[in-house]
């Protein structure tokens, strides 16, 4: 894949001797976060409103980014409301994983997408988890998800803290699926308003239609460039690590895939690729459903009056058509979990051809067009951190993990 890559710590790597580690418990926990989050029937959704506050400091990055100060060095702390239903989840973890006892091979008529994501969007985490290991993704669907360990909890807490710098949580009572989707869309609308007025927004939900599949995700951070003639928002993702080590290439590759997926979805929206009729039909929604009172008030506070879900969808479309495509340069930030110091920044260029290949490969699995495959031989170290290793043929096959059996693996701390 053609890409450029720099790091804020690159010039000091030799001096600081920061080691590169294949994997850590915490990093694996985040890669597998989709498996660990089991939500209630009322999933988390948010909304925002705008005002400004004070500033704090974070490490620098490039390209230059717009905010009320000079660069990404100074983060504007924005006071916003974040509304959610009584139960909520973190990050871009959107899906509840079912416990299914089935040994049937996936087929086009009975695919994993149809069985486990029917009337639900495929999350970006679904795609990145599939890229990490298709077989592990299959096991997680058929046997159940992972438990949340202490490293995951610490990482989730860090993201919540970053979120709290720009969002204040306020609970909203929703009554229906239409309300739930309306609130997701309202979060995008008000988040984009914040981006346009303040130059920064975080935890931005994005819903889109790409490759004939509905997808959903939550972007960690979006910033506007400082340059007046540059209107292409910059997408940023922050990952925390339990140890002060640099991520291995497969982990960075997985993170790049995640951010590229967000840009792909963003650019599709900007191109007005959001088929409203398909949206209502696929998710079984009534466009004329009257919104709950909290959402009516929220929409009015946000500067427009919405009575039905259809009203919100129309405002959603009006909002994203005001945007420019996302910047081709994307930014992954890796923090040390203990003190939140910056380990490195991975700046890379969007590669549309590579991304399409990755999405196509993942969708083949989800659509039942191919069976789940194992990771490549040189990445079998991943299996040491997989809870499904004891039942995975890759662990028992003599052609598989030589010397990497579950007896030699380091157990994950729950």
pLDDT tens column, 19-47: 443 433 344 444 444 333 433 333 344 44
Residue 352 CA to residue 162 CA, distance in Å, equals 30
List pLDDT tens digits, range 52-101: 333 333 333 344 444 332 233 322 222 244 444 443 333 333 333 323 33
SS3 229: coil
What b/e sequence results for 322-355 when a residue is b if at least 16 CB atoms lie within 10 Å of its CB, and e otherwise? ebebbbebbbbbbbbbeeeebbbbbbbebbeebb
pLDDT tens profile 279-324:
999 999 999 999 999 999 988 888 888 999 999 999 999 999 999 9
CB atoms near residue 400 (< 10 Å): 17
Of 79-88, 141-150, 173-182, 366-375, the poorest mean pLDDT is in 79-88
**Lookup: tokens for 278:** 């398909």
182 φ/ψ angles, rounded to the nearest 5 degrees: -60, -40
* HSE-up of residue 82 (Cα within 13 Å, Cβ side): 21
Retrieve residue 49's tokens: 């409103």
Helix (H) or strand (E) holding 155: helix 150-164
Q: Which helix (H) or strand (E) holds 352?
A: helix 352-366
Burial (CB < 10 A; 0-12, 13-18, 19+), residue 130, is: buried
Residue 296 and residue 307: Cα distance in Å, rounded?
6
Residue 368: how many other CB atoms lie within 10 Å = 18
Q: Which residues contact 202 (CB under 8 A, 6 or more apart)?
A: 162, 163, 165, 166, 167, 220, 221, 222
Q: Which residues contact 328 (CB under 8 A, 6 or more apart)?
A: 232, 263, 349, 350
At 166, is the pLDDT very low, low, confident or very high (cuts 50, 70, 90)?
confident
What is the DSSP annotation of 267-310?
HHHHTT---HHHHHHHTT--TTPBPPHHHHHHHHHTTS---BHH
Query: Which residue has 């360990």 as its token pair?
Result: 149
Residue 407 has pLDDT above 90, yes or no: no
Q: What is the DSSP string of 102-150?
A: --PPPBTTB-HHHHHSTTSPEEHHHHHHHHH-HHHHHHHHHH--PPP-H
* Phi–psi pair at 292, nearest 5 degrees: -70, 165
* Cβ pair 72, 200 in contact under 8 A: no
pTM assigned to the model: 0.74
For residues 241 and 293, give the distance between their C-alpha atoms in angstroms, rounded to a whole number. Answer: 42
Q: Where are the domains of the chain?
A: 25-397
Rounded to whole angstroms, how far apart are CA atoms 297 and 280?
23
Ramachandran area for residue 217 (φ above 0: left; ψ -120 to 50: alpha; else beta)? beta
pLDDT digits (tens, 9 = 90+) for 170-214: 788 899 999 999 999 999 998 999 999 999 999 999 999 988 999
**288: phi > 0 → left, psi -120 to 50 → alpha, else beta; which?**
alpha
- Please tell me which residue, 392 or 155, carries the higher pLDDT value: 392
């Amino acid at each position: 894949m053609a890409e450029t890559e720099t790091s804020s710590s690159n010039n000091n790597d030799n001096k600081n001797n920061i080691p590169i580690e294949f994997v850590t418990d915490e990093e694996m926990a985040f890669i597998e976060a989709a498996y660990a989050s089991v939500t209630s029937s009322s999933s988390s959704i948010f909304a925002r409103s705008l005002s400004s506050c004070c500033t704090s400091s974070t490490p620098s990055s490039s390209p230059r980014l717009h905010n009320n100060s000079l660069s990404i060095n100074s983060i504007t702390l924005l006071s916003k409301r974040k509304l959610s239903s009584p139960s909520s989840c973190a990050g871009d973890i959107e899906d509840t994983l079912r416990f299914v006892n089935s040994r049937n091979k996936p087929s086009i008529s009975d695919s994993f997408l149809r069985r486990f994501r029917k009337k639900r969007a495929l999350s970006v985490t679904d795609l990145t988890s599939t890229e990490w290991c298709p077989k592990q993704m299959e096991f997680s669907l058929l046997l159940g998800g992972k438990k949340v360990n202490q490293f995951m909890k610490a990482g989730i807490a860090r993201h919540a803290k970053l979120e709290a710098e720009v969002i204040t949580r306020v609970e909203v009572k929703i009554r229906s699926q239409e309300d739930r989707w309306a609130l997701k869309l309202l979060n995008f609308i008000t988040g984009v308003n914040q981006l346009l007025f303040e130059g920064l927004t975080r935890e931005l939900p994005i819903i889109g239609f790409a490759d004939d599949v509905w997808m959903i995700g939550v972007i960690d951070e979006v910033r506007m460039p400082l340059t007046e003639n540059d209107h292409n928002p910059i997408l940023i993702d922050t990952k925390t690590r339990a140890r002060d080590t640099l991520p291995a290439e497969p982990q960075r590759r997985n993170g790049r895939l995640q951010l590229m997926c967000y840009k792909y979805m963003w650019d599709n929206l900007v191109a007005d690729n959001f088929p409203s009729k398909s949206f209502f039909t696929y998710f079984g929604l009534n466009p004329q459903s009257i919104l709950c009172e909290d959402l009516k008030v929220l929409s009015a506070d946000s500067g427009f009056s919405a009575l039905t879900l259809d009203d919100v969808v129309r405002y959603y479309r009006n909002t994203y058509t005001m945007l420019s495509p996302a910047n081709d340069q994307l930014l992954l930030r890796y923090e040390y979990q203990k003190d939140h110091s910056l380990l490195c920044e991975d700046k890379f260029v969007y590669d549309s051809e590579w991304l399409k290949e990755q999405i196509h490969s993942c969708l083949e699995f989800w659509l039942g067009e191919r069976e789940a495959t194992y990771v490549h031989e040189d990445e079998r170290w991943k299996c040491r951190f997989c809870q499904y290793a004891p039942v995975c043929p890759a662990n028992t096959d003599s052609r598989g993990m030589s010397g990497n059996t579950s007896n030699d693996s380091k157990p994950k701390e729950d």
